Chains A and B, each alone.
Chain A
């Protein structure tokens, strides 16, 4: 798929253009203080074709998928799925953010296995 906006719509199953920028998602977001840009601005950047700025933001990684935005959105957009789609796009670039060689032996013993597996799933392509 050439068009990145179509790709986001396809992965998330959400219609980016349904958003009319009321800001209710951002107003209710419990993690908004930690975000560099607001959740509604993430959608806005996609709408105006500046997806690279949305991908660069920390907001998409801070989002905890608590669904507060989704249940209150008047246009029925599940914003958490769009956040997830943006994370997916990063991960599908096949970039490994961590190498198994670099994990220290004591960490392997100390960390719960599930945390290690989750970490590799999230940080490797």
Chain B
């Protein structure tokens, strides 16, 4: 093929032109073999600049284009689209970076100019050998998997389902609803959490586009964006939910009582149970670990009382497979282990409790019917102390981050306590108050001004029991007064951490998490709901502690990303991927262990082991190519011979 390459050198205003002598570059490169046209312009990315390139491609019948300007990260797509509009294959267009790699990092004009010429020369050599490529088409299964059925997963599921796509919602506990179902009233409006949540739970159950798997876990995921295969383990509930009508007789007659997870261990549930009365689905499961029959081989009372014969002790876990095109991870949070806060006697003293436990004490459907009674003796506490930043903002001993919601919920809980016990005395110990949401600061001010709640700036050092009272050692850092505060109940605003099984899930999904286990977004500002793995999105507290409005917003954002993907007929994939010269491949398999995307697979072809490439999975990272001992693995448009020619062009005089 006759090479008819055009080089377009950009000034980038003064960004390049103040250091690199553009006219010298144009002159030098115009004489380089294969280059039949060279030209400069002040802003190549501007509309006139793009039109100029477009015009020249047609006029000069160019079959290769190099734009010497900024980084390809910024404008490669811009100029490849120019090529397409001019009838040139976009992969015959390359950018030579003479800004970040040259003018921005040098001062000497002569040397910078010489370097710019060398950079462009090497790209000319590359384009000479560039193949005409077409993007790879990938089909999409237009169904989404949502992992986690808290408010985050519920919101994402409803949004996607209401847009007309199928959704599979997997929740590990027997009911959807998550932590939000446990809350009493929500800040800053004080509307009842269950009242706003349960209609959404019912909507999930009734939506025809949503397939709900509760008491289920994701076991394994294979495949890639648009084409995931998911193995879902349906845990044995020992109750046939198709037969069961949720009459509750089995629960009433069950003789075994165990601590209720939903009530945060403040009350008991039976071994066969529905987590809470508004559960969706409202069907019981048998807790195998505590069931008397499973422990001793005797009982089966539930089976005897069930007229519908719904109890099935022989049931086993089932693993089913579902095809999905996109995944939203919304696995939420759990509280940091209270036992680790030794100086507050948490776990030792019954009346030192977590914020979630206090939510249950405030909740009208909670173990005390909404009356605040302390766990030790059931008395109404006359004085309650709330401590913020417990385990949070403590890089030395616990978690370094701010858990974001504690300031607000402690202010709310103090306020609700004051409403329930008007003569009671609520004290909040804080270090800083973070009330950065709509109407949040006004809410905290209301707690101080109208409810007269005492806010003390200082961290409690120690809590101990004395004569049936709890004693707090603190200091008011504003007045400098040491304080010894006697109280009846201590509520800890304890740190939030990712759900306990997040590590297992990140391995299955091949997505990344940070040092604390929170899922990593693709870009902290511009791509906040995408993971680094295409087709997997993140929402809610699995990403970082956040309140309900933020969680809902992020979940809707994830849903819209999924819908954006599903709006296409098919996905296109960059064709600059690895390929293998089957004559050279010895089937050693080094590439397979190195590939971070599982795109290299060993196959037997005519009796010979060949490490083939799944082009759709390949992200073109080049690890396998660098490692291949026989040179059989190559990357399209970055072949070994291209790289050698490019190196020669850079080094030769």
A→B interface (CB under 8 Å): 20-28, 32-33, 37-38, 40-41, 68, 72-76
> What residues on A are CB-neighbors of B75 within 8 Å?
none
B459 touches A27 (CB 8 A): yes
A-contact bits for B491-521, CB 8 A (1 contact / 0 none)? 0000000000000000000000000000000
Smallest CB gap from B396: residue in A: A76
Smallest CB gap from A33: residue in B: B482
Asked if B395 is an interface residue, CB under 8 A from chain A, the answer is yes
A72 touches B343 (CB 8 A): yes
A74 touches B475 (CB 8 A): no
Asked if B559 is an interface residue, CB under 8 A from chain A, the answer is no
> What residues on A are CB-neighbors of B461 within 8 Å?
24-28, 68, 72
- Complex formed: what's the CA distance from A75 to B396 in Å? 5
Q: Which of B343, B394, B397, B475 contacts A23 (CB 8 A)?
A: B475
B343 touches A32 (CB 8 A): no
B395 touches A27 (CB 8 A): no
User: Among residues 92 to 151 in chain B, which have CB atoms less than 8 Å away from a CB atom of chain A?
Assistant: none
> What residues on A are CB-neighbors of B458 within 8 Å?
22-24, 26-27
B396 touches A38 (CB 8 A): no
B460 touches A24 (CB 8 A): yes
- Complex formed: what's the CA distance from A40 to B457 in Å? 13
User: Closest CB-CB distance, A45 to chain B, in whole Å?
Assistant: 12
B482 touches A74 (CB 8 A): no
Q: Which of A22, A27, A76 contacts B482 (CB 8 A)?
A: A27
> What residues on B are CB-neighbors of A21 within 8 Å?
431, 477
> What residues on A are CB-neighbors of B483 within 8 Å?
27
> What residues on A are CB-neighbors of B432 within 8 Å?
20
For the complex of A and B, list the 9 residue pairs with the smallest distance between their C-beta atoms, beginning with the closest.
A28-B461, A27-B461, A76-B396, A74-B394, A23-B458, A22-B459, A23-B477, A26-B475, A24-B459
Most B-side CB within 10 Å, residue of A26, A40, A73: A26
- Complex formed: what's the CA distance from A37 to B482 in Å? 10
Smallest CB gap from B431: residue in A: A22
Task: A23-B431, A76-B395 given; name 20 further pairs at CB < 8 Å.
Answer: A20-B393, A21-B477, A22-B458, A22-B459, A24-B458, A24-B460, A25-B461, A26-B458, A26-B475, A26-B477, A27-B462, A27-B475, A28-B462, A33-B482, A38-B482, A74-B393, A74-B394, A74-B459, A75-B396, A76-B396
B431 touches A27 (CB 8 A): no
Smallest CB gap from B479: residue in A: A38
B480 touches A41 (CB 8 A): yes
> What residues on B are CB-neighbors of A38 within 8 Å?
475, 477, 480, 482
> What residues on B are CB-neighbors of A73 within 8 Å?
396
User: Closest CB-CB distance, B342 to chain A, in whole Å?
Assistant: 10
Q: Which of B397, B476, B477, B480 contacts A74 (CB 8 A)?
A: B397
Smallest CB gap from A35: residue in B: B482
Asked if B361 is an interface residue, CB under 8 A from chain A, the answer is no
Asked if B291 is an interface residue, CB under 8 A from chain A, the answer is no
User: Closest CB-CB distance, B185 to chain A, in whole Å?
Assistant: 29
User: Among residues 356 to 400 in chain B, which have CB atoms less than 8 Å away from a CB atom of chain A?
Assistant: 389, 393-398
Asked if B180 is an interface residue, CB under 8 A from chain A, the answer is no
Asked if B473 is an interface residue, CB under 8 A from chain A, the answer is yes
Asked if B611 is an interface residue, CB under 8 A from chain A, the answer is no
> What residues on B are CB-neighbors of A32 within 8 Å?
475, 482
Q: List 18 A-B contacts (CB under 8 A).
A: A20-B432, A21-B431, A21-B477, A22-B458, A22-B459, A22-B477, A23-B458, A23-B477, A24-B461, A26-B458, A26-B475, A27-B461, A27-B462, A27-B483, A28-B462, A28-B473, A72-B461, A74-B393
- Complex formed: what's the CA distance from A28 to B458 in Å? 11
- Complex formed: what's the CA distance from A20 to B394 in Å? 11
User: Closest CB-CB distance, B388 to chain A, in whole Å?
Assistant: 10
A74 touches B473 (CB 8 A): no
B389 touches A22 (CB 8 A): yes
User: Closest CB-CB distance, B200 to chain A, in whole Å?
Assistant: 38
Asked if B67 is an interface residue, CB under 8 A from chain A, the answer is no
> What residues on B are CB-neighbors of A24 within 8 Å?
458-461
User: Closest CB-CB distance, B222 to chain A, in whole Å?
Assistant: 43
User: Closest CB-CB distance, B490 to chain A, in whole Å?
Assistant: 14
A26 touches B396 (CB 8 A): no
B396 touches A74 (CB 8 A): yes
> What residues on B are CB-neighbors of A41 within 8 Å?
480
Asked if B474 is an interface residue, CB under 8 A from chain A, the answer is yes
- Complex formed: what's the CA distance from A71 to B482 in Å? 19
Smallest CB gap from B484: residue in A: A27
- With A28-B462, A72-B343 already in contact, the answer to whether A23 and B396 are too (CB < 8 A) is no
- With A20-B431, A38-B480, A41-B480 already in contact, the answer to whether A27 and B396 are too (CB < 8 A) is no
